[in-house]
Amino acid sequence: MRGIRCEAVECDEIWTFVGKKEGVMKADERKANPELGNQYTYIALDPVSKMIPAFHVGKRDSVNTHHFIEDLSRRIEGSTQVSTDAWGPYSPAIARYFGNRATYATITKFYASENPGAGRYAPPRVSGTEITEVLGIPDYSKVCTSYVERQNLTLRMKVARFHRLILAFSRKLANLKAAVALYFWSYNFCLIHRSLRMTPAMAAGITDRIWELDELI
């Protein structure tokens, strides 16, 4: 997709792993196969149309962050406002690939210290936020990562490779990338968004109809 217009875009990353979790890997395993261990899916979301204009699967590092932002910048036409968390590599990447086409701010969330109990997954309560201007003069009313974070939850619930504490993890990076691509393309073009009553691609003006899954494969 090219020539996409977004007044604002939210970016975030969601964790999963390939083969083995990072904490149980041995040094020789990591050296023999760099694809093993932690992998992150970078996601960009238009909070108005709910469309995913770009995504990228890779390690959470500067190189992959730059690949993701470069791809996003080529897909968005005109100016936009970008919101992210405070992950450091975003700032130089957005400045490099968007230049004066983007205003940019980070939003940092602070969490209350809670102990949900041993063996229980529970998100901590947000106790406060801090917005930091990075590029240009961003519109504070549009500085947000809530929609893309909600998309993270949807991805984790719908794609078994992102489920926690089960055996449905990816054995190969190529398999993870294929599953993520299929999910996002079907999300954009095939699934009616409840709040929009149309697909995100229709809301963004990319298409005027609901696509069938076999058209994407």
Say which CATH topology domain 8-102+144-208 has.
Nucleotidyltransferase; domain 5 (3.30.420)
Q: Using CA atoms, how far apart are residues 190 and 68, in angstroms rounded to an integer?
A: 24
Predicted confidence pLDDT, tens digits, the chain (217 residues): 899 999 999 999 999 999 999 889 888 888 889 999 999 999 999 999 999 999 999 999 999 999 999 999 999 999 999 999 999 999 999 999 999 999 999 999 888 876 666 665 677 788 888 999 999 999 999 999 999 999 999 999 999 999 988 889 999 999 999 999 999 999 999 999 999 999 999 999 999 999 998 988 8
- In whole angstroms, what is the distance from residue 19 CA to residue 69 CA? 27
pLDDT of residue 96: 98
Distance, C-alpha 173 to centroid of its chain = 17
Q: Tell me the Ramachandran region of residue 68: left when phi exceeds 0, alpha when psi lies from -120 to 50, beta otherwise.
A: alpha
Packing angle, helices 62-75 and 90-98, rounded to 10: 30
The amino acid at 154 = T
Q: What is the pLDDT of residue 112?
A: 83
In whole angstroms, what is the distance from residue 43 CA to residue 73 CA? 13
Q: What confidence score (pLDDT) does residue 181 get? A: 97
Q: What per-residue confidence (pLDDT) applies to 118?
A: 60
Cα four-point dihedral sign 185, 88, 75, 50: positive
143-158 pLDDT, tens digit per residue, is: 999 999 999 999 999 9
CA–CA separation, 10 and 7 (whole Å): 11
User: Dmax over Cα atoms in the chain, in whole Å?
Assistant: 51
Give the per-residue pLDDT at 164: 86
| Predicted pLDDT at 120 | 59
pTM above threshold 0.95: no
